[in-house]
Amino acid sequence: MIHGDDRGLQAARARAYALAETGQFDNSHAVQQALIAEGWPNAGLALGSDYARKAVGERCRAAKAH
């Protein structure tokens, strides 16, 4: 079931990126909380790496700048 887990994490990350790009969130923590509120059970795992958190944070900042 590793592939299923990978797809689930990829989907959660994709949703995190989409949320970050809305400009409604200040940082990756806020995006993670939104994912949890939407019912993503793997939100913590999906954003567990420094790379993922940085990427989400950068998208948040870029969206706020526009």
Residue pLDDT, tens place only, 5-55: 699 999 999 999 999 999 999 999 999 999 999 999 999 999 999 999 999
User: What's the first-to-final CA gap in the chain, in angstroms?
Assistant: 40
Q: What is the pLDDT of residue 66?
A: 77
User: Is residue 58 pLDDT above 70, yes or no?
Assistant: yes
Task: Say how many domains are in the chain.
Answer: 1
- C-alpha closest to that of 15 among 3, 30, 2, 32: 32
Q: What is the pLDDT of residue 1?
A: 44
